[in-house]
Amino acid sequence: MRIIDLRSDTVTLPTPAMREAIYQAEVGDDVFGEDPTVNQLEEMAAQRMGKEAALYVASGTMGNLVSLLTHCGRGDEFIVGHLAHTFLYEAGGPAALGGIHPRTLLNQPDGTLDLADIEAAIRAENIHFPRTRLICLENTHNRCGGAVLTPEYTKSVCQLAQRDGLAVHLDGARVFNAAVALGVDVKDLVEDVDSVMFCLSKGLSAPVGSVICGDEEFIYEARRNRKIVGGGMRQAGIIAAAGIVALEQMVDRQAEDHANARRLAEGLAEIPGLAINLDRVQTNIVIFELASERLTPAEFEARLSEGGVKLLAMGGRGLRAVTHYGIEADDIEAALAVVGEVMEQL
Ligand code: TLP
């Protein structure tokens, strides 16, 4: 039976070109700055983002953590959405390892934070208060169904931050999905942020790794913090080689993933017992609800899995399916047929 794995775009396997690049990669000791392949990837990433410098890290979680450790000291506060990945799914790393205090604001359904809410949350200087240092945004927004933040919105948050001397970090795990969906250069989405982390190992299909981009000084300090968390990786060119192929070959094709997600969402909308807001499907993530109370989302997930379709129950009545390299239009039709059968049997 063919397994259609829609749990995440993290399940993507390296392409033949990536395996070839891995085989051919020239490597050296990256902690000495001597891995030519890592250096090439970092230069390429900085250039793509329009930033001065970049740093290769093991994961998105490490990239966000290292960025937060670089922006904030112990007892400092960062403003973050209540549905942000950095807040929900990174094991409290900034608090556990950096003594950094999260100040959560309600995410709007489109992934934004209300500008008035941000303004109201910025603290005055007072010995009782933590010091607000940073605003953290997420584009695309995972828990908001892959919602895209526009260049204009991001710019307005950055302007507000600059007025109060705060930095802005973008969790851009899927920022290339946002760029493809909006038809803009990714530079336009990160122009005014102080740091951005993007993942090579999700929609771009590389096996391992993420990159942080920012100015020279920020990246110098981030390199120290990467060392502190044990992220100095020696002959990392072996994996960085696939990252270079990802940036060269795998960005534009994400439009196919978006088209497949849209088709999936439209198909789900026609199946009785499921609820979905089609306006919210903008990129490669489809979040929908099991409206029928005849089975729990966990049971639904298990039944689909027996039929060869994997997706994730997300708490509450919500479920998530993610399209990616390796999932074709036919797979979407096959997945919809399995979902339809499971719902009919209820
Ligand atoms: N997200 C994963 C899981 O952790 C939920 C997924 O399957 O979507 N920022 C965002 C917006 C993310 O979605 C993720 C991973 C990360 C950061 C962390 O990246 P990794 O998994 O490389 O540490």
Q: How confident is the prediction for the chain on average, in pLDDT?
A: 98
Sign, CA dihedral 117-171-309-181, equals positive
89 lines ligand 1 (CB under 6 A): yes
292 lines ligand 1 (CB under 6 A): no
- Ligand 1 atom at shortest distance from the alpha carbon of 90: 18
Q: Give the tens place of pLDDT for each residue, 162-194.
A: 999 999 999 999 999 999 999 999 999 999 999
Give 346's pLDDT tier (boundaries 50, 70, 90).
confident
Taking the centre of ligand 1 as the mean of its atom positions, its distance from the CA of residue 61, in whole angstroms, is 7
Q: Hey, how many other C-beta atoms are within 10 angstroms of the C-beta on 238?
A: 19
Are 141 and 189 within 8 A, CB to CB?
no
Q: Give the tens place of pLDDT for each residue, 241-271.
A: 999 999 999 999 999 999 999 999 999 999 9
Structural domains in the chain plus CATH codes? 12-249 (3.40.640.10), 253-344 (3.90.1150.10)
Mutate to test the pocket of ligand 1, among 56, 202, 212, 312 (most ligand atoms within 8 A of CB): 202
Are 170 and 154 within 8 A, CB to CB?
yes
Cα 279 → chain centroid: 20
Q: Give the tens place of pLDDT for each residue, 90-127.
A: 999 999 999 999 999 999 999 999 999 999 999 999 99
Taking the centre of ligand 1 as the mean of its atom positions, its distance from the CA of residue 174, in whole angstroms, is 9
Token reading at 243 = 């990252």
Are 282 and 148 within 8 A, CB to CB?
yes
Q: Give the largest Cα separation in the chain, rounded.
A: 63
According to DSSP, residue 141 is labeled B
Nearest protein Cα to ligand 1, atom 16: 60
Q: What is the pTM of this model?
A: 0.98
